[in-house]
Amino acid sequence: MLKKSKRTMLFSPADTPKNLFTAHLYGADCVIFDLEDAVKYAEKDAARDLLAEALRVMDYGDTQIYARINPLYTEFGRADVETLVPAGLRRMRLAMCEKPEQVRELDALLTELETKYGIEPGSCQIQCSLETPLGVTNALAVATASKRVESVSFGAEDFTRSIGAQRTKAGNEIFLARNMVVMAAAIAGVDAVDTVWADINDEAGFREEVRMAMNLGFAGKSCIHPSQIKIVHEVFTPSREEIEKSLAILEAAKDADIEKGGVITVNGKMVDIPVIAKAEKVVRLARGAGIIA
């Protein structure tokens, strides 16, 4: 299935009206309006109401809008979902997700709300944020807990805190966790989105990390500042040459019987199932980026 890209997921606190007006203008594929960590306890209700109002009046165009809701076990979690779904929210990021039961609880609440408000069944989707050793270990169970799970994301800050590691730019301390999240996502057939990079002044370091995340198999990167978007898109967007080559491979493979073990050649090079899979990924990224229709 061809999906719209999740190359960039820009975090934006939901308690500032200006952010609700402007966050989508910076070109991120997705914006995550944060009701959780970025919002003070006393402002939680106000931020939720602001976001609900914004969802009713704003035209966010083709930017995918998420809300990072508070966990359902807090006093704010259910109210976030009950207020925002009728206001139009269809994608929510479940913070600190550790067990499939948490996903199923949210799934049940969404089913209830879809029924109550006449919303298309299953249209409310979930991104599970894996931020603890337990969450990462349970990644596959979490990612397959509900059909509503459309992606998982990895959060390094809480993860390193949980295991007592020092967060470094090299990222050796999170290398395994990243791989586990990507593998679980691949098995579950959902996207995996990499963690944030905190130093907005270190563009070279950020670019290197983005390249590494893409090579590991992540579909995109969480961003904390609009200046990071352009760099992620540059790395995650295939070149014109790659796109043309991939389109040629897919065209040639259309009528061939490769699924049964056969091979074909395109421009003198052998094409088999892994090559086709890579070509599909390139075309998917290009479509998601809006480069080709």
Partner 1 sequence: MATEQQVITKSGITLPSRIDGYGEVKPFAGAFATAPQGKKYAPAKGTCPPGTVKVLGNIAEAIEKTGLRDGMTISFHHHLRNGDYVLNLVMDEIARLGIKNLTICASSLTNAHEPLLEHIKSGVVTGLQTSGLRGGIAKAVSRQNILGKPVIFRTHGGRARAIEAGETKIDVAFVAAPVSDPMGNINGCEGKSAFGSMGYPMVDAGYAEKVVVITDNLVPFPLKRISIPMTLIDYVVPVESIGDPEQISAGAIRITKNPQELLIAERAAQVLIAAGAVKNGFSFQAGTGGASLAVCRFIKDYMRENQIKGSFGAGGITATMVELLNEGYFETLLDTQSFDDSSAKSMAVNASHVEMSASMYANPHNKGCTAHMLDIMILSATEIDEEFNINSLTDSNGTIMGALGGAPDTAAGAKLTLVVAPSMRKRIPIVKDHVTHISTPGETVDVLVTERGVCVNPRRTDLIRALTEAGIPLKSMADLRREVEKLTGVPAKPEYTDVIVGVVEYRDGTVLDVIRQIKENQ
Nearer to partner 1, 25 or 176 (CB): 25
**Which residue among 22, 115, 123, 168 contacts partner 1 (CB under 8 A)?**
22
Contact flag: residue 108 with partner 1 (CB under 8 A): no
**Which residue among 115, 123, 168, 227 contacts partner 1 (CB under 8 A)?**
227
User: Which amino acid appears at position 206 of this protein?
Assistant: F
Give the tokens for residue 260: 């049964």
**Which residue among 226, 244, 252, 289 contacts partner 1 (CB under 8 A)?**
226
Nearer to partner 1, 15 or 98 (CB): 15
Query: What spatial distance separates the first Cα and last Cα of the chain, rounded to whole Å?
Result: 14
Nearer to partner 1, 151 or 222 (CB): 222
Nearer to partner 1, 61 or 118 (CB): 61
Rounded to 5°, angle at Cα 42 from 135 and 58: 80
Q: Which region, judged by CB under 8 A, interacts with partner 1, from 94-102, 144-152, 205-213, 219-227?
A: 219-227
Question: Binding string, 52-91, against partner 1, x = CB under 8 A?
Answer: -----xx---------------------------------
The strand pairing partners of 64, in sequence order, are 30
CA 275 to CA 278: how far, in whole Å? Answer: 5
CB atoms within 10 A of CB 128: 33
- 3-class DSSP assignment, residue 40: coil
Q: CB of residue 60 vs partner 1: minimum separation in angstroms? A: 12
Contact flag: residue 46 with partner 1 (CB under 8 A): no
**Which residue among 4, 90, 207, 225 contacts partner 1 (CB under 8 A)?**
225
Task: Give the contacts of 162 (CB within 8 A, at least 6 positions apart).
Answer: 131, 132, 133
| DSSP string for residues in 110-147 | HHHHHHHHTPPTT-SEEEEEE-SHHHHHTHHHHHTS-T
Running DSSP on this structure, what letter comes out for residue 225?
S
Contact flag: residue 168 with partner 1 (CB under 8 A): no
Nearer to partner 1, 167 or 225 (CB): 225
Q: CB of residue 56 vs partner 1: minimum separation in angstroms? A: 12
Q: CB of residue 7 vs partner 1: minimum separation in angstroms? A: 18
CA 24 to CA 173: how far, in whole Å? Answer: 33
Contact flag: residue 198 with partner 1 (CB under 8 A): no
CB atoms within 10 A of CB 133: 13
Q: Which region, judged by CB under 8 A, interacts with partner 1, from 31-39, 81-89, 143-151, 225-233?
A: 225-233
Q: How far is CA 176 from CA 54, 192, 251, in A?
A: 39, 14, 37
Nearer to partner 1, 232 or 276 (CB): 232
CA 282 to CA 287: how far, in whole Å? Answer: 9
Q: Which region, judged by CB under 8 A, interacts with partner 1, from 14-22, 65-73, 105-113, 154-162?
A: 14-22
CA 124 to CA 103: how far, in whole Å? Answer: 13
Chain residues that interact with partner 1, rule: CB under 8 A: 17-18, 21-22, 25-26, 57-58, 225-227
